[in-house]
């Protein structure tokens, strides 16, 4: 499509019309995202989170997906957000900024911000620039503006990480480095400090690691054993076997595959006659484990 012969007036008018249509489509997208989250449809389709679904299935870039999630969640509490986005009074970046700031304020104060206060802030953001919005939001919520974490993948496959710490967090990191100064040849180098700590945590927390000399698993001999806690050596074997969430969408066959917050699930629940035998155990992520239980107990629609 060539626009070279389009007049300036028509080019300007066409672009404004397209942008208006884009805002309308964005409003519809956010409404759909709200409903996808309400139904937890992403879990049924084999994704561990709404973010995972929007990036891997829908195809959004990470930042684009997160901004839409922020806007959708804020619109769930304050439906007026949709109208103001569609009219152009506010934009997606402002809404995402506000939602993140509200979330941070609620964590710090341990109190929820009421709907009217959120609506008042939305009204104040109308027709403001992003920098003006940052100042307005941080002052209204009495929080400090934090730099976002930035990750840059470089040509040699190394990764450059930029992150902002609070004073208290930085003091903890400095103390950790001091304590490790005699354990590492170059204890002052942050990359070695972080690698050392990472190795220790992996050694302690990796559920696939062997904690017993014996790799032989003894199955429960009776149904009474099914009511007992799953033995540690059985848990280790399940985690080594599965490695990731085993949930599969029954229609597409898509496997979740998440390695985040893994738990052991009984395929046939204990309360319906299931056992602790290996063939009845699998690894699920925490999100699928909770939702599978709800489906099994008929607490939500499959």
Measure Cα distances from 60 to 55, 89, 98, 171, 284 in Å. Answer: 5, 24, 21, 37, 25
**Coil, strand or helix: which one is 201?**
helix
Cα of first residue to Cα of last residue in the chain, in angstroms, is: 45
Residue 299 has pLDDT above 70, yes or no: no
What is the tens place of the pLDDT at every residue in 97-119? 999 999 999 998 999 999 999 99
Per cent of the chain over pLDDT 90 is: 57
Q: Are 77 and 119 in contact (CB under 8 A)?
A: no
Question: Which structure tokens are listed for 146?
Answer: 């934090």
pLDDT value at residue 60: 97
- Cβ atoms within 10 A of the Cβ of 288, count? 25
What is the tens place of the pLDDT at every residue in 251-295? 899 999 998 889 999 999 888 888 888 999 999 999 999 999 888
Cα–Cα dist 94/88, whole Å: 11
CA angle 274, 279, 280 (to 5 degrees): 25
Q: Left (φ > 0), alpha (ψ -120 to 50) or beta: where does 152 sit?
A: beta
Report, as an integer, the average pLDDT of 201-230: 57
Report, as an integer, the average pLDDT of 43-58: 96
**Beta-strand relationship, 159-162 and 150-153:** antiparallel
Sequence-distant (≥ 6) Cβ neighbours of residue 115 within 8 angstroms: 77, 78
Residue 32 has pLDDT above 90, yes or no: yes
Cα–Cα dist 226/280, whole Å: 11
Q: Left (φ > 0), alpha (ψ -120 to 50) or beta: where does 70 sit?
A: alpha
């Amino acid at each position: 499509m060539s626009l070279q012969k389009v007049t300036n007036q028509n080019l300007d008018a066409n672009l404004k019309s397209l942008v208006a249509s884009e805002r309308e489509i964005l409003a519809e997208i956010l409404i759909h995202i709200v409903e996808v989250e309400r139904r937890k449809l992403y879990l049924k389709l084999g994704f561990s989170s709404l973010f995972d679904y929007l990036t891997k299935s829908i195809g959004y870039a990470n930042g684009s997906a997160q901004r839409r999630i922020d806007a959708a969640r804020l619109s769930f509490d304050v439906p007026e957000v949709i109208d103001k986005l569609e009219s152009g009074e506010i934009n997606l970046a402002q809404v995402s900024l506000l939602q993140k700031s509200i979330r941070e304020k609620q964590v710090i104060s341990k109190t929820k911000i009421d709907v009217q206060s959120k609506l008042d802030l939305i009204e104040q953001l109308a027709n403001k620039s992003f920098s003006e919005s940052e100042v307005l939001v941080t002052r209204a919520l009495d929080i400090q503006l934090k730099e976002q974490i930035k990750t840059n993948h470089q040509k040699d496959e190394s990764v450059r990480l930029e992150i902002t710490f609070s004073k208290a967090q930085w003091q903890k990191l400095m103390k950790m480095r001091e304590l490790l100064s005699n354990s590492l040849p170059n204890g002052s180098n942050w990359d070695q400090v972080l690698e050392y700590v990472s190795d220790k945590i992996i050694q302690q927390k990796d559920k696939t690691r062997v904690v017993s000399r014996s790799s032989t698993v003894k199955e429960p001999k009776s149904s009474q054993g099914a009511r007992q806690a799953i033995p540690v050596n059985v848990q280790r074997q399940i985690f080594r076997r599965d490695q990731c969430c085993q949930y599969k969408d029954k229609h597409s066959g898509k496997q979740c595959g998440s390695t985040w917050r893994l738990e052991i699930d009984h395929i046939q629940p204990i309360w319906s006659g299931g056992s602790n035998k290996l063939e009845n155990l699998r690894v699920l992520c925490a999100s699928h484990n909770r939702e599978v239980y709800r489906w099994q107990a008929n607490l939500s629609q499959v």
